[in-house]
Chains A and B, each alone.
Chain A
């Protein structure tokens, strides 16, 4: 369904060009749930924004392809992209409070997506009666959507404003907007980070149900390995703008290959029988404008070899559906 090839997104800065997404390759089947994990600044969000061509100025995509059902989104005109955003590919952002417009009713904001993409116009027929029927059809559909995402008493809530919704309800409203046109791909950028754990459980449960009933493919961006481990079929780990490892969830969690993934798993507190001391990854994330080594993880790596400094690195297939970018494999 989705195939990203050699995607490179850069941001010019005073310190030089920052490559925020560096030769990202990612393929995805319809209906799959993929988790994109990594620390802040590793390029997860930029990759998502690049798919939708929403990289904020002055950032730009310099090379690569984003094939969505065989069509290259990078080459599309702005108008064609507008037809795809929200209809074929929808996105949910991290902070629902800032994503919703505070001065419009929640119901109207959900309806906007239906209106723009003209979802209800076929059923409504032609002018002069069409417009009214369409409005009614759209409102009915919004209420049905609100019900589906678990907003109680949707009839009344349609006319409420975002500030009258709790954080969890706002996130549900955003999911309703994203689902309005039944997209085939849903990009969820940290959808539960701003929420409490019990609400997070509700939202993840909802997303899973959507995946099962509509067959919507989901890319979940998260920094929480626990969320990724429970929710996703496959995990993609990013570091300094590059994908460093990819594989089926259980495999990656139980037998991480890349030293960075291993380090991450050793540094999180886990609820297990015996208490193990946390082992933080030494050093800090490198400055992306000034990468010294070919492998961005070289100076923090506990398994570094002399050849790591210069050797060309590529995302290698090591069998069992696993890919890793490291000279050790």
Chain B
């Protein structure tokens, strides 16, 4: 249903490690070691122009870090990011500001992502100025247009964030991202803090905007029903690794990776016919500090093959448009 030509964004073997450094004293006297948190550990990903790629995974799996690293809000430890044919892994200032004009983000928590001391007008003026709109009356005209587009009344232009409800604030966040006329938006859990009826409004708005402005989304969420609804393709992450990438329908009909199978079976669904045989996973997600060697999912995997799972990290293999990283395939 959406154009499917050259990829807009390509990520190759992207890594983002966080280091916890211990002091000299702690190292020598208490024997503490520097620790490495491998939040994103070698992710390869392609996002096509005009599509919505859903990114799912449990908390701590690195999905937010991946989204932010792609936008250079975190500096990548290693790996390559190619946006619209341009390598922007190590951009200079100019290239970075160019890139940020075309790639924007909508944050999860609409209460924390808007400056409480600034009015909507001030919040939306900053991106406009960055785009080179300096004329006051033109700024005002654009802000009014943006507000109307995201479903807010223009008389709210001089209100402060606390005067809005959660759903309305998320609309402001969306307007702020749109002000840059971006091509690509990372939506990091945009609806997870909202009530269901408001959630539907925001999801519909996101879809309308995508149609109108030909946007490409990386849609991060933990709610699989939302992901099913908005995504063209879905990528599943587990502990810093990409474990499965497939077109939405294909993934939900025929999940290959044991983790995806367990995840899908765990979603509580309203419709009886959509329920699956529940696979209850033992234990919890291990810590990304010193993660287990081999397949990250091996310690909890109900279909573990044997030694190979514990020693060798399975590569992400392409099985005809359905990518999976598992020794079973």
Residue B141, interface by CB 8 Å: no
> By the criterion CB–CB under 8 Å, are A277 and B204 in contact?
yes
In the assembled complex, the Cα of A199 lies from the Cα of B263 at a distance in Å of: 10
Given A269-B226, A270-B271, A198-B197 contact (CB < 8 Å)? no
List the 4 closest pairs (A to B, CB-CB), nearest first.
A269-B229, A226-B268, A267-B200, A280-B200
Q: Would you list 27 pairs from A and B whose C-beta atoms are within 8 A, ordered by A residue?
A: A39-B195, A39-B197, A196-B58, A196-B285, A197-B58, A197-B266, A198-B280, A198-B281, A199-B58, A199-B284, A226-B267, A226-B268, A226-B269, A230-B268, A253-B271, A263-B197, A264-B196, A268-B270, A270-B271, A271-B252, A275-B229, A278-B200, A280-B200, A280-B201, A280-B204, A281-B197, A284-B165
State whether A166 touches B284 (Cβ < 8 A).
yes
Residues 181-205 of A at the B interface (beta carbon under 8 Å) = 196-202, 204-205
Query: A211-249 CB contact bits vs B (8 Å, 1 = yes)?
Result: 000000000000111110111000000000000000000
Q: How far is the CA of A301 from the CA of B147 in the complex (A)?
A: 26
A268 touching B274 in the complex, CB below 8 Å, given contacts A198-B281, A277-B204: no
Check: B228 CB closer than 8 A to any chain A CB: yes
- Establish whether residues A267 and B199, one from each chain, have CB atoms under 8 Å apart when the complex forms: yes
Verify B203–A269 contact, CB threshold 8 A.
yes
A226-B269, A271-B252 known; A196+B59 contact, CB < 8 A? yes
With A269-B226, A271-B228 given, name 6 new contacts (CB 8 A). A200-B268, A268-B270, A269-B200, A270-B271, A270-B274, A271-B225
A250 CB-CB contact with B under 8 Å:
yes
Q: Nearest residue in B to A230 (C-beta to C-beta)?
A: B268
Residue contact B200 to A271, C-beta cutoff 8 Å = no
Q: Within 8 Å of chain B (Cβ to Cβ): is A168?
A: yes
B199 partner residues in chain A, CB cutoff 8 A: 267-268
Interface string of B56-68 (1 = CB under 8 A from A): 0011000000000
Residue from the set B203, B269, B273 with the largest chain A CB neighbour count within 10 Å = B269
A201 adjacent to B270 (CB under 8 Å): no
Interface members, chain A 134-178 (any B CB < 8 Å): 166, 168-169
Q: What separation, in Å, do the CA atoms of A296 and B224 have in the docked complex?
A: 32
A277 to B96, CA, bound (A): 37
Instruction: Give every chain B residue within 8 A of A253 (Cβ-Cβ).
Output: 270-272
Closest CB-CB distance, A175 to chain B, in whole Å? Answer: 16
Q: Are B270 and A270 in contact (CB under 8 A)?
A: yes
B197, B267, B268, B278: the one contacting A280 at CB < 8 Å is B197
Inside 8 A of B222's CB, which chain A residues have their CB? 196-197
Knowing A196-B59, A267-B200, A278-B203 are in contact, say whether A223-B268 is a contact too (CB < 8 A).
Answer: no
Assess whether A63 is interfacial by the CB under 8 Å rule. Answer: no
Q: Is A72 located at the chain interface by the 8 A CB criterion?
A: no
Interface of B is mostly: helix
Q: Which residues of A from 60 to 104 have beta carbons under 8 Å from B?
A: none
Please state if A268 and B200 are interface contacts (CB–CB under 8 Å). Answer: yes
Please measure, in the bound complex, the distance between the C-alpha atom of A129 and the C-alpha atom of B278, giving whole angstroms: 49
Q: Which residues of A contact B203 (CB under 8 A)?
A: 269, 278
Contacting residues, chain B, for A272 (C-beta < 8 A) = 271, 273-274
The answer to whether the Cβ of B198 comes within 8 Å of any Cβ in the partner chain is yes
Q: Which residues of A contact B157 (CB under 8 A)?
A: none
- In the complex the two chains form, what is the Cα distance from A278 to B225 in whole Å? 12
- Interface residue total, chain B, C-beta cutoff 8 A: 38
B residues within 8 A CB of A284?
165
From known contacts A225-B196, A278-B203, A280-B201, infer whether A169 and B284 are also in contact, taking CB-CB under 8 Å.
Answer: yes
- On whether the beta carbons of B266 and A269 are closer than 8 Å, the reply is no
In Å, the complex CA distance between A225 and B228 comes to: 16
Shortest A119–chain B CB gap in Å is 30
Interfacial chain A residues near B278, Cβ < 8 Å = 201, 205
Complex: A199 Cα to B58 Cα, angstroms: 10
- Chain B positions 191 through 227: 1 when the CB is less than 8 Å from some CB of chain A, otherwise 0: 0000111111101100000000000000000101110
- Tell me which residues across on chain B come within 8 A of A223, comparing CB atoms: 195-196
A231-B268 CB under 8 A given contacts A198-B262, A271-B252, A272-B274: yes
Give B224-254 as 1s and 0s: 1 = Cβ < 8 Å from A's Cβ atoms.
1110111000000000000000000000100
B275 at the interface (CB under 8 A from A): yes
CB-nearest residue of chain A to B227: A269
Q: Smallest Cβ distance from A218 to chain B, in angstroms?
A: 15
Q: Smallest CB-CB separation from A279: which chain B residue? A: B200
Which listed residue, A166, A264, A271, A280, touches B274 by the CB 8 Å rule? A271
A110 within 8 A of B: no
Q: Determine the chain B residues whose CB is within 8 A of the CB of A20 once the complex forms.
A: none
B275–A230 touching, CB < 8 Å: yes
